[in-house]
């Protein structure tokens, strides 16, 4: 041990890793739900993610959001990063994979967010986004990844009508349809009344960005779901894909958000044994 003058010894103090205060709050909540600590690598990945979102001005644009991966248990995965915790309907521990997320069954498994499409304070008509990260494409013919019923107008929804399709709707009955099997980050965002932008990601990480001309309308009264949509307060359009992330909130930068979420999923995959 190093010596100071007069024969005094310098005591070395071990300082743990620095974590952003919001990240630390999230870790504490997840670990309480899991009943055990997260690995250092998992914490580091999520800490980097949260710091990055703050730097990009995105974190406060996420009104409801869950990282459906990383946690040791399903209960931990349902701890929200932002907003209220979703209500679990019929998912069990075997549906959850720490690296790839939660898988739906296309019939009765879904998360109820408790938020309504007509909440224009938190999801304004001309200032809104919706996203999800798909790790395994859907296997059933029709469904909703996140949002609400696609048949009704002026909604936020990412849905599909076949096993090789993804459709974006953002406050209009006019949507953007792409005929691919989605894998990776999917998002749409709107910051005006005339159009919205979307990014679809599919095999090999290929990304397709489009701005869709679609005039926004008054948001309808329907709840938001994950792995389903809602007709009013009735769940429908159940999804069979596997997903590891979702968010709904206000307008944001698609490239910046994609970069952060995709990097998070890669880092979690590397950190988890």
Annotated domain spans of the chain: 61-252
| Strands 128-136 vs 184-190: parallel, antiparallel or unpaired | antiparallel
Q: What is the pLDDT of residues 162-215, one digit of tens each?
A: 999 999 999 998 999 999 999 999 999 999 999 999 999 999 999 999 999 999
- What confidence tens digit (pLDDT) does each residue in 37-90 have? 999 999 999 999 999 999 999 999 999 999 999 999 999 999 999 999 999 999
Lowest-confidence region among 13-17, 107-111, 231-235, 266-270: 13-17
On average, the pLDDT of the chain sits at 94
Q: 128: closest CA among 172, 83, 92?
A: 172
Residues 6+ apart with CB under 8 A from 121: none
Largest CA distance in the chain: 81
Residues in the chain: 273
What's the Cα-to-Cα distance from 182 to each of 125, 213, 220, 249, rounded to whole Å? Answer: 26, 22, 27, 22
Considering the domain delimited by 61-252, tell me its CATH architecture: Sandwich (2.60)
Check: CB of residue 225 under 8 Å from CB of residue 231.
no
Residue 272: exposed, middle, or buried by beta-carbon count in 10 A (0-12, 13-18, 19+)? middle
Coil, strand or helix: which one is 103?
A: strand
Cα separation, 266 vs 50, in Å, equals 15
Residues pairing with 159 in the sheet: 144, 167
Q: What is the pTM of this model?
A: 0.93
* Cβ-contact 257, 251 below 8 angstroms: no
């Amino acid at each position: 041990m190093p010596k100071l003058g007069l024969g005094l010894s310098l005591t070395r103090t071990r300082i743990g890793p620095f974590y952003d205060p919001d990240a630390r709050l999230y870790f504490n909540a997840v670990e309480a739900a899991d009943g055990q600590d997260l690995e250092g690598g998992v914490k580091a990945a999520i800490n980097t993610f949260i710091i990055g979102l703050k730097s990009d001005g995105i974190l406060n644009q996420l009104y409801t959001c869950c990282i459906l991966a990383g946690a040791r248990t399903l209960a931990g995965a349902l701890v929200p990063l932002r907003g209220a915790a979703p209500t679990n309907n019929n998912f069990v521990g075997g549906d959850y994979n720490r690296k790839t997320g939660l898988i739906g069954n296309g019939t009765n498994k879904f998360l109820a967010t408790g938020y309504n499409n007509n909440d224009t304070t938190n999801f304004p008509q001309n200032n809104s986004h919706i996203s999800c990260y798909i790790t395994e494409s859907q296997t059933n013919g029709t469904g909703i990844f996140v949002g609400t019923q696609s048949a009704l107008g002026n909604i936020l929804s990412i849905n599909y009508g076949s096993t090789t399709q993804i459709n974006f709707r953002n406050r209009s009955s006019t949507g953007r349809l792409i005929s691919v099997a989605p894998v990776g980050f999917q998002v749409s965002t709107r910051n005006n009344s005339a159009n919205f932008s979307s990014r679809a990601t599919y095999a090999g990480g290929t990304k397709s960005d489009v701005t869709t001309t679609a005039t926004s309308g008054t948001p309808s009264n329907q709840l938001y779901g994950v792995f389903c949509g809602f007709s009013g307060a009735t769940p429908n359009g159940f999804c069979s894909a596997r997903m590891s992330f979702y968010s709904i909130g206000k307008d944001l930068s698609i490239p910046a958000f994609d970069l952060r979420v995709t990097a998070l999923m890669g880092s979690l995959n590397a950190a988890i044994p």
